Amino acid sequence: MSLSQDLVQSIIRQDILLNDLSDQELAEFCQQANAAYRDGNPIISDQDYDFIYLAELNKRLPQHPLLHSVEPEGQGFSDEKVLLPEIMLSTDKAYSWAEIGKWIERVEKACIEIGIDITTLSIKATPKLDGFAGYDDGQHLYTRGDGKKGSDITRVFDRGLQVFNLSDRGQGAGEIVVKKSYFEQYLSSDFEYPRNFQASLIKEKSLDEKAQQAINDQAALFVPFAQLPVWQGSIVELTKNFENIVTEVLSLVDFDVDGVVFELTDPTIKQHMGANRKFHRWQIAFKENKDKAQVRVLGVMPQVGRTGKITPVAELEPTQLSGATIVRATGHHYGLVKDQGLGVGSIIELTRSGLVIPKINKVLKPAPVQIPDQCPSCGELLTWESDFLMCLNHVNCPAQVIGKMEYFFKILANNDGFGIATIKKLYDHDIRKISQIYTLNQSDFINMGFGDKTSANLITQLQRSTTEQIEDWRFLAAFGVNRMGTGNCENLLRSYTIKDIFTLEKTQIADIDGFAELTAALIVDGLANIREEFGRLFHYQFNLELTQLSINANSVLHELSGKKIVFTGKMQGSREVMKKNAKNLGIQIASSVTGKTDYLVVGDKVGQKKIQAAEKFGLTILSEQDYLAMIGE
Ligand SMILES: [Zn+2]
């Protein structure tokens, strides 16, 4: 059976949803999409293929051959298939830390079986290239084919393709890839996906001019896996630092990367774990790709946040996403409900990126909606402010009062015990303000129904929160004033002391770099609202570490004072210490290079993007040593 072109197009445009496809149609669509991908002319993105269609196929027809073998390439190469020098398997995939954890358990079990101490094992992590797989034996280059037999595509080397790092031929498995920055700049208008371009390099028919140029520019390359930059460490380090390691490895190369490959290096354990028909058991890829699903909405509940914003919380048909069962998801604002039809029975597209909370992407099939007219917490009539539905009863709305108190302790982050359950219980006993909490003694807590031990702990935690030193900007941010997140608070306190900020005029704030006039006005109003409560709490002698004033404190300004600097790459010294020292000199630290940046300070393993941006804006690039010399360290 073959699907009509119309039906294929309707599926791609999402006019026809998964639920409307028969199992047979779904399977056929997956096969066509897969063939198109292998052919170098994908009809849908890899993400949609993996996460929407293949995932659904797995749910309905788990035995389908598409899910169980390394697929043949399909058309495109008329050459006879030749036996590969070495079997090329694909890589097992994990979409969550939990799945990586299961792999580590299997490694642990294997270690016990052959008497190796798992803590001595080294793990190697490399970027997972999203290119065209090949095997280079030094004489010939082969496609991966079905993993056992591939096609000879040595012609691509005859066309001048270079090996990454200008290294030698014959390094085995790798991928043909194109530099991301180059693709965006020179090729993206002619080729829809890098994949289409990569395939065009290999095809028998004569080479496209742009493709030849990309080869000549050494932007298209063969990258043997052995040449990839690596992170290497122990399983303990991996466990402790998983997210940071993933972020670091993903940024190591200027090629399209769709995950991180983790593998063992010890030959004994590798041999013991071996392989199955599809992949090596000593290797796993963590894919950070956005996981997507089409999900039916069972109900929509309004939820009131601490600022009075009402957000829609959708109850969902339970759905597996990135290795977790999702039963509810939050929409950004109520405009989504009103404009897109997020109602009972609607079908939404849900995304989840790695470890982040799932998000409602868009409504695919609308249903009649219900817009609440009253606040579910206090009954106040709700008000629209552009896309946002708001409860303006900021002083007495229980959900907002509770939310603000919870937020205070969360931002302070130097005590335990004041989570939402505790705060709700305090609210039930007429506690409305943080300053009231600090006047409570142990018997007050006991009288509210907390246990003896819990009450003692709450007192200890309150004391701890006033004795442990915290930055003054963090303390200020904990009050949750609109536009006064930690970044703005720190910026403000670099110009004025915490005692002075309540007397500031709007213009004084707007004069500080980084504050727009509207923001300044909101801050003045917000500060006026918290002034009394701030005064009461300030009295409890929190141990505040004062932010150094950038201008008034140093009568002689450092030459870099007021300059905007971006640090990038791996530094010899601690990045945190460098940032702190820079701030003390009045240097502004930014995270991305823009036209307003003055200097880019580079360490090792720097991403090409930042360097290119720096060159584009003509700013000065300093090495870590040059920079340290400039600030006199
Ligand atoms: Zn309310």
pLDDT tens for 14-39 read: 777 888 888 999 999 988 888 887 77
Assess if residue 282 is contained within a domain. yes
Compute how many other C-beta atoms are within 10 angstroms of the C-beta atom of residue 22. 9
Confidence category of residue 551, pLDDT binned at 50, 70, 90:
low
* Residue 45: pLDDT over 90: no
Q: Give me the residue label for tokens 């918290």.
A: 530
Assess if residue 572 is contained within a domain. yes
Assess if residue 550 is contained within a domain. no
CA 375 to ligand 1 centroid distance, Å: 5
Give the sign of the dihedral formed by CA 452, CA 455, CA 456, CA 457: positive
CA 377 to ligand 1 centroid distance, Å: 5
Residues 459-504: pLDDT tens digits? 999 999 999 888 899 999 999 998 898 888 988 998 898 988 999 9
CA 310 to ligand 1 centroid distance, Å: 9
Q: Are residues 479 and 419 in the same domain?
A: no
What distance in Å separates the CA atoms of residue 423 and residue 403, rounded to the nearest whole number?
A: 9
CA 413 to ligand 1 centroid distance, Å: 27
Question: What local confidence, expressed as pLDDT, does residue 163 receive?
Answer: 95
* Residue 129: pLDDT over 80: yes
Q: Are residues 162 and 272 in the same domain?
A: yes
Q: Are residues 264 and 295 in the same domain?
A: no
158: left (phi over 0), alpha (psi -120 to 50) or beta: alpha
Report whether 235 contacts 119 (CB < 8 A): yes
CA 425 to ligand 1 centroid distance, Å: 18
Assess if residue 422 is contained within a domain. yes
Q: Work out the percent of the chain whose per-residue pLDDT is above 90.
A: 42
Q: Is 212 exposed, middle or buried (0-12, 13-18, 19+ CB in 10 A)?
A: middle
Distances (CA, A) of 425 to 128, 177, 309: 49, 58, 23
Q: Are residues 142 and 218 in the same domain?
A: yes
Q: Are residues 104 and 237 in the same domain?
A: yes
What's 534's domain CATH number? 1.10.150
What pTM did the predictor assign?
0.50
Catalytic residue flag (residue 128): yes
Task: DSSP for 237-264, please give it.
Answer: HHHHHHHHHHHHHHTS-SB-EEEEEEEE
CA 502 to ligand 1 centroid distance, Å: 28
Catalytic residue among 81, 93, 128, 278: 128
For the ranges 165-179, 284-298, 349-363, 498-512, the lowest mean pLDDT is seen at: 349-363
Q: Are residues 234 and 128 in the same domain?
A: yes
CA 305 to ligand 1 centroid distance, Å: 9
Q: Which residues contact 206 (CB under 8 A, 6 or more apart)?
A: none
**Final residue of a domain: which of 40, 67, 94?**
67
Question: What local confidence, expressed as pLDDT, does residue 290 receive?
Answer: 62
Which residues constitute the domain of residue 525?
471-545
Assess if residue 558 is contained within a domain. no
Q: Are residues 129 and 268 in the same domain?
A: yes
Confidence category of residue 404, pLDDT binned at 50, 70, 90:
very high
